[in-house]
Amino acid sequence: MNYLGSPNFPSEAAEDGDIAESGAEQVTATEMTRNFRHWQERARSCPIAITHHGSPRSYLVSATHYRQMGGSGGGGKQANAGALRFAIDQIGEHLVVVDDRWDVQLVNSAAEAHLGQSQAALIGRNFFTTFPELCNSYTADRMREAQEARTMIEFEAPSSVSPGRTMSFRLFPFGKGLAIRVRDISEQARYRRYFAERESTYAALAAHGGVALGRINMRGRFEDFIASTTELLGVREDGLFGMRFADIFPTERRVEANDAVEAALGGKPLAIDTEILKAGMGKVRVRLALAPTYSTMAIESATFVITPAA
């Protein structure tokens, strides 16, 4: 058995009958690990698509099928071109293969959609002539580097084809040419920027001082906070983790504080003027603001901000 890695993919167009005959089965990586012998036997009759989160990430094929697909210098490229085309079209990432002259040899369905051109229109055309906007880009420099050094290179860069999108590139030698796998990571990049901005905001507030900021879990206890929170409350950091939020308020203010927490955990942002108990100073008038913090499906905590009253 062989995992389908980088055989010499044929560029011939797939016939409808070839695709129908490919009959690839799907199995999760967990199930493959658990019953490898069974799936190894199944691969003798058809390719096995190994999925991750529902999308095929790799394929298990028999040595016979591998040779038929053009791997290891075997013949039969045309005989199973349809099966190979079917397999690469199950890959969620964009895949383009070029030869040593930068002429396009293969394009999968995901890449066709991203590039806005069909495989038939691209095969045999020079990659950089077809997409001149890439010629002097960082992406082109890395592609040339991977081609010349015959090495695998991974990097992230803005898309030259779809402005505003961020793409992850994986370049690796493919025969005498280069395979280019591209994945749209715009959402991941957006979240990374968001978290970086949040950490920067927290750091600025901590440096400013006089501000308590953090999160309360669904049980109404401190879960996370910036350093200046302990200064404003007069409580050591190790004493604040897991402490009930209501315990920082005087007895007569705790019902009000608990109601505010319940409202925030129920989805309602609010702010109140109240008092807290600061160690060694007694009651201190403050402004308290609370807002719900959402996870993917529901509210998971509440964010609090406490500042001294003006």
**Structural fold of domain 199-308:** Beta-Lactamase (3.30.450)
pLDDT, one tens digit per residue, over 205-256 is 888 878 999 999 999 999 989 888 988 888 888 889 899 999 999 999 999 9
**Structural fold of domain 92-184:** Beta-Lactamase (3.30.450)
Residue 295: closest CA among 271, 267, 259, 272: 267
Beta pairing class for 48-52 and 25-28: parallel
Binning pLDDT at 50, 70 and 90, where does residue 71 land? low
Please give the Cα distance from 228 to 24 (Å, whole number): 58
Over range 36-46, report the average pLDDT: 84
Binning pLDDT at 50, 70 and 90, where does residue 86 land? confident
C-alpha triplet 241, 245, 251: angle, nearest 5° = 135
**In terms of C-beta density within 10 A (0-12 exposed, 13-18 middle, 19 or more buried), how is residue 70 classed?**
buried
pLDDT for the residue numbered 70: 54
Dihedral of the alpha carbons of 34, 39, 40, 46, in degrees to the nearest 10: -160
pLDDT surpasses 50 at 16? no
Please give the Cα distance from 82 to 70 (Å, whole number): 12
The structural domains of the chain, with segments of one domain joined by +, span 1-91, 92-184, 199-308
Which stretch of DSSP H or E encloses residue 25?
Answer: strand 25-28
Asked if the domains 92-184 and 199-308 are classified in one and the same CATH topology, the answer is yes
Highest mean pLDDT among 5-19, 159-173, 257-271, 275-289: 257-271
pLDDT, one tens digit per residue, over 163-212 is 888 999 999 999 899 999 999 999 999 989 988 988 888 888 888 878 99
Contact 62, 44 (CB under 8 A): yes
